[in-house]
Structure 1
Amino acid sequence: MTVTGSGDKAGSDVTATPPGQGEAAPGEPEQTAAAPGGPREPGASKKSGWRESVLLVSVGVVAALLVHFFVVDSVYIPSESMEQTLLINDRVVVDKLSGDVGRGEVVVFKGWDGTTTIKRVIGVGGDRVKCCDAQKRVTVNGVPLDEESYLHPQDFPSQERFDVTVPKGRLWLMGDHRASSEDSRAYRDDGSLGTISTDDVVGRAFALYWPLSRMATLPVPETFSKVR
C-alpha cells in the first residue's frame, strides 16, 4: 500500500480522513473504514496462497530443466568398457560447463557411430600417443603412463600397437577395460586417426552417484600431471 501524508504509519490498513469530513454525529457509533479494495471474498487468501504455490513450483521446474539441459546431466553405463572405474548400470553426473577438456578426464561425447559414449581422454591436440614402450606402457609425449589406478586389473595397456599425433582440436580416447573397449584404436583409418572433435564432447563425468555403495568422485589420475 502506498502511504500518503507524513503522519501515516507504514503498514497501516486505513486511509487518513481530512478533519471535519466523515466524522460521526454525536451519539452515533463510529464507522470503521473499509480496507482498500473493499471487503475480501471468502477463501481469497487460500486462492492467493494456491497461486503462489503453483508459481513457485513452476519456477522450480523451469530452473531444474535449465540446469539439466545446460549445466549437468546424468548418464548410466551400459557396457564394461570402463571397468573397473565404472561398472555396468553405474550412474554418473556430467558437468556440461567443464570448459577445456584435459588429459585423464572421463568424458561423455558423441561417439564414432553417433551414439553417446563415455571414455577416458588419453591425449589432447598436439600430443603424441604411443603404445607401447619397452615396459608395455602407453606413453604421451614420451612420458609413460602409470595406469594401475584406473586400468582393469586383468587387462593390458593395449594389445594393439599405435603411434598417433593428435590433431589440434581433437582427442584420443580409450576405455579403462582395454580388451573390451572399442575406442580410438579401432577407428585409426577413419580419416581423423581415430580421434574425436572437442566439439562432440557433452561434458566431463565428475562423480559416480549410483549405486550408493560405490559413490565417489572421478578425479584425474596423478600420472597425467607429469605429461607436458
Structure 2
Amino acid sequence: MTRSGRPKRKQLPLWQETVLLLSVALVLAVVIKTFFVQAFYIPSESMEPGLILNDRILIQKVSYWGGEPERGEVVVFKDPGGWLPPMDSAGPTNPIAKGMAKIGLYPTGGHLVKRVIGVAGDTIECCDDQGRLLVNGEPLDEGAYVKRGEASCAGPMPTQCNEDWEVGPIPAGHVFVMGDNRSQSADSSAKMCRPDETECVPGDEFVPVDLVVGKVFVLLWPADRFRWNTRPDTFEDVPDPS
C-alpha cells in the first residue's frame, strides 16, 4: 500500500512493456501512413531538375481529404495501367524493406510522380510562340522548374514540338499530368491519341483523382538538397474553364 492508502500499481515486466510500446508505435505508423504522411522515392528522371532519380520525398494526404489536386501541385499517384514497366511496379523485394513499406517508412513501387497541369474542365494547348503551354488560354511561365532539354517547347510529347496539340475539356474526376523533364517523361501528353494512331484508347491520358495518393510537400533526402515543395505562382493566373 502507498501512503495515500491506494494499492501500488503493478509494473509490467520489461519484455511486456517493450512489446506494448512497439505495438503502439506500429499502430501509429500505420495510421500516419494511411491518413497523413507517406514516404516515396523518385523512380525516374522525369521530374528533373527539381527532383532527381532516387530522391526521397514525403507526401501529405490531408489536403485531399475533402478536395482534389490543384494545378501546379506535384502529386504521387498509382499507375493507371501500363504507365510503368514491370520492374518499377514491383516494389521492394527485401523482407525488411517490404515490412517498412507497409507502414510507410520505405517507398513502395507501382507509383508515379508528376505535376498537375490541368484539372476537370480545363483545356490545354501546346504551344504559344514562346513554346509555353496554355491552360484555358493562359500561358504558363515554367522556366523556373521545367527542363526542356533539346525540345523547343514545354510540351514535347508525343511529337517533340513538331506539331501543336490540344486536349480537353478534362473530364470530371480526372487530372492531366506532366513531368518537369518534358522530353524525358512518359506522362499524360505521351498517352494522347495522334490522328494516325489506331491502337490508342482516347481518355487514357487522364489520371483519375481516386488514384492520387497525395501531394509532395518536402524533398527529404539527400539532406543537402532538403527543401519544401511549393506550388509555382504561374498557376495562380490560370482562369477557370469557361
> Where do 5+ consecutive residues of structure 2 fail to align?
84-109, 194-200
Q: Residue 193 of structure 1: CA displacement?
A: 5.5
**In 1: Cα distance, 2:78 partner to 2:4 partner:** 62
Q: 2:120 aligns with which of 121, 125, 139?
A: 125
**In 2: Cα distance, 1:216 partner to 1:119 partner:** 17
TM-score using structure 1 length: 0.77
Larger Rg: 1
Counterpart AA for 2:189 = R
TM-score using structure 2 length: 0.72
The sequence identity of aligned pairs, in percent, is 42
> Where do 5+ consecutive residues of structure 1 fail to align?
2-9, 15-35
Q: Residue 50 of structure 1: CA displacement?
A: 5.1
For 1:158, the equivalent position in structure 2 comes to 155
Q: Deviations over 1:157-183 (max 9, x none)?
A: 023432011112111100000110001
Q: Residue 61 of structure 1: CA displacement?
A: 1.9
**In 2: Cα distance, 1:219 partner to 1:126 partner:** 24
Matched-pair contact (CA < 8 Å) for 1:164–1:193: no
Q: Residue 136 of structure 1: CA displacement?
A: 1.5
Q: 1:224 aligns with which of 198, 210, 235?
A: 235
Q: Residue 111 of structure 1: CA displacement?
A: 2.5
Matched-pair contact (CA < 8 Å) for 2:155–2:189: no
For 1:204, the equivalent position in structure 2 comes to 215
- Superposition RMSD on alpha carbons, in Å? 2.4
Q: 1:101 aligns with which of 45, 50, 69?
A: 69
Query: Is 2:66 the counterpart of 1:63?
Result: no
Q: Residue 51 of structure 1: CA displacement?
A: 3.5
Matched-pair contact (CA < 8 Å) for 1:162–1:185: no
Matched-pair contact (CA < 8 Å) for 2:58–2:218: yes
Counterpart AA for 1:212 = A
Give the number of aligned pairs.
193
Higher relative contact order (CA 8 A, sep 6+): 2
For 1:73, the equivalent position in structure 2 comes to 38
